[in-house]
Structure 1
Amino acid sequence: MEIILAKNHGFCYGVKRAVEMANEAANNDGKSYTLGPIIHNPQVVGRLEDKGVSPVQEVSDIAEGTMIIRSHGVGPAIYEEAEEKGLHVVDATCPHVKKAQQDAKSVINEGMTLVILGEKNHPEVKSINLWANNEGIIIEDEESAQKLQVVEKMGVVVQTTFSQFKFNSIIDILEKKSKNLKVFKTICNATQERQNSAVDLA
């Protein structure tokens, strides 16, 4: 059997950073918890658990210690809840996700209709929308984009791991839905590189 590795593969910067921050937290005194699994990799999650970093689902599941926010990010209410409980917070939100969160917030603050391109149930998309007061319209595909009403002003923010190919075709549709379209192409470069490498391999 021949195994061919893609030119670009492995953890992206944001995931690698989050895992490193979780490992550092494991070396500190006291218990550490990740809010949800740190990444979608059961082997890594298991190794961290062996070091004393346990995944939990809610802030209320943590009595004391360190709470690690994973690369997908969370909404502002989570930070407030952690502060009220006196937890030490390690924020491993990917910087690219942070930018998407702030871009979404700015779209709402400017009085524009916010469209978020991404998977409706993905934790990153949920976190982006929470920074926009949950006012975003989440679009997963071209069919959903076609159903949107025409609006005066529209701002578009994108899940960092969204398909660049799908992004282009959806933007073509959204350009007909508003005369004032502001697009924040928040797809991470690492995602684009890996998608291109997958196409090259195929």
Structure 2
Amino acid sequence: MRVLVADKCGFCFGVRRAIEMAGRQCDTGKRIYSLGPLIHNPQVIERLHADGLTVIDSPDEAESGVVVIRSHGAPSSVIEELKSRGLEVVDATCPLVKRAQQRARELAGAGYRVVIVGQPEHPEVKAILEDIGEATVVENGPPKLLNAARRIGVIAQTTQTPEAFRRVVVGLSELDFEELRVYNTICSATVDRQRAALGLARRVDVMFVLGGRNSANTARLAQLCDATGVPTFHLETSAELTPEMTAGRQVVGVTAGASTPAWIIEDFVAKLESL
């Protein structure tokens, strides 16, 4: 059995940056918190917890010390609240997420009706919504209730697919409006991983996509691979791999989401090769 690994997979720049920033804070000996999981990978979060990082859901839970803002960002009002309570804030928001936040604020401030192509419950999207107060969030097709909007501004959740973003923009272009302003805020690393995964999926007999089940970009990789018709498994670690998944397969493909560390990928490949 041959095992092929996608040439673009695993940690992206924003995730690696957030983990390094949190790690440096853990070395200080202070109380360290992250407002929500720093990234969407349970195994990495467990390791960070062992190093001293405590995940909290609300600013009220931080008594003193340092609060690290997760890679998905947080509303500016929440960051200001943390600072006003005397807490030290380390902002590990991915720079590309910050760019999407800034574009949304610019559009809202200029009077555009903001449309976010993304998932309403994703923390990145929720932070933007809290920041600008009102927006329309869509995942696949154009929103139905924008006929009264004269000026529309569009951004994307950074882990969206270009195809979903394009469908929304094309659909919006058919509405009656005065102006449509579009900012493509999709992360290039996300696109690279999607293309690499698709290319690999078309060459193998079975595909494994590694990453947290709470990871939007990992789930999207699994959906894309599955859509090619190749049997696809979304797993978190090698502990979930069974011999039945590879039975009769000659060529096996492996990819991983942007929040999946190299050690999980390497361990998984080693177990595959031992079957």
- How much has 1:146 moved relative to structure 2? 4.8
Q: Which residue of 2 aligns with 1:138?
A: 137
Per-residue displacement from partner, 1:131-150 (whole Å, max 9, x unpaired)? 212x11111121xx251332
C-alpha separation in 2, matches of 1:149 and 1:126: 20
How many positions carry a matched residue from both structures? 199
AA aligned opposite 1:187? I
**2:224 aligned partner:** none
* Structure 1: distance between partners of 2:7 and 2:45: 26
Aligned position for 1:186: 185
In structure 1, the residue matched to 2:11 is 11
Residues 54-133 of structure 1: pairs in structure 2 closer than 5 A:
54-133=54-133
- State the alpha-carbon separation in 2 of the partners of residues 129 and 149 from structure 1: 17
Change (3 A) 1:136 1:146: closer
Unaligned runs of 5+ in 1: none
Deviation at 1:84, TM superposition (A): 1.7
CA distance, structure 2, for counterparts of residue 68 and residue 136 of structure 1? 27
Where in structure 1 do 4 or more consecutive aligned residues deviate above 4 Å? none
Indicate if the aligned counterparts of 2:32 and 2:52 stay in contact, CA closer than 8 A.
yes
1:29 is displaced (CA, Å) by 2.8
1:34 alignment partner, SS class: strand
| 1:38 alignment counterpart | 38
- In structure 1, the residue matched to 2:164 is 166
Q: Which residue of 2 aligns with 1:195?
A: 194
Partner of 1:175: 173
Give, in whole Å, the separation in 2 of the partners of 1:90 and 1:136.
Answer: 28
Match of 2:51 in 1: 51
Normalising by structure 2, we get a TM-score of 0.70
Q: Tell me the TM-score normalised to structure 1 length.
A: 0.95
Give yes or no for contact 1:105–1:131 (8 Å, CA) kept in 2: yes
CA contact (8 A) 2:112 2:153 kept: yes
Does the 8 Å contact 2:30/2:66 carry over to 1?
yes
How far residue 168 of structure 1 moved from its aligned partner, in angstroms, is: 1.2
Q: Is the 8 A contact 1:101 1:129 kept in 2?
A: no
Q: What amino acid maps onto 2:24 in structure 1?
A: E
Distance 1:146 1:29, change over 3 A: closer
Please give the secondary structure, in 2, of the residue aligned with 1:131: helix
Quick check: 60-69 or 160-169, which moved more? 160-169
Cα deviations by residue, 1:150-177 (Å, 9 ceiling, x for unpaired): 2211000110001111111111101112
Q: Residues 34 and 55 of structure 1 are in contact (CA less than 8 Å); yes or no, is this contact kept in structure 2?
A: yes
Q: How far apart, in 2, do the equivalents of 1:195 and 1:171 lie?
A: 20
Cα distance in 2, alignment partners of residues 17 and 146 from structure 1: 35
Question: What SS does the corresponding residue of 2:5 show, helix, strand or coil?
Answer: coil
Higher relative contact order structure (alpha carbons within 8 Å, sequence separation ≥ 6): 2
Q: Which has the larger radius of gyration?
A: 2
